[in-house]
């Protein structure tokens, strides 16, 4: 066997060992989580659970944005109410009656 063929065979063997070790590590990790990768039902259940978590996260993010919009709208509405109250009070103080008031 030539040196090049030996190096190629050694590379192939090292790659095979690495792939086997990675596959075993993944299987053990999922087994610790209670998921058998050889059981399609378990894989589908995991996929469904992850999809549910994604939908919950997106809904929470959307709700957070809507809440911020509501708080800002409330603050602006309160500020407008306070300004109108001040204008009305000043008009009454100076004897100016706003339109629509007797």
2-51 pLDDT, tens digit each: 666 666 888 889 999 999 999 999 989 988 988 888 888 888 988 999 99
Query: Is pLDDT of 1 > 60?
Result: no
Please give the helix or strand (H or E) that residue 20 lies within, else none: helix 3-32
Residue 19 in tokens: 């792939």
Q: What is the mean pLDDT of the chain?
A: 85
Between 69 and 100, the more confident residue is 69
Cβ atoms within 10 A of the Cβ of 35, count?
15
Cβ–Cβ < 8 Å for 37, 30: yes
Would you say the pTM of this structure is higher than 0.85?
no
Cβ–Cβ < 8 Å for 42, 36: yes
């Amino acid at each position: 066997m030539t040196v090049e063929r030996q190096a190629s065979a050694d590379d192939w063997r090292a790659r095979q060992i690495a792939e086997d070790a990675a596959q075993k590590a993944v299987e053990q990790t999922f087994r610790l989580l209670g998921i058998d990768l050889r059981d399609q039902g378990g894989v589908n259940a995991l996929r469904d659970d992850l999809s549910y978590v994604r939908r919950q996260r997106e809904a929470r993010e959307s709700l957070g944005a809507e809440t911020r919009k509501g708080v800002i709208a409330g603050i602006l509405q309160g500020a407008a109410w306070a300004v109108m109250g001040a204008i009305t009070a000043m008009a009454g103080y100076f004897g100016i009656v706003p339109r629509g008031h007797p």
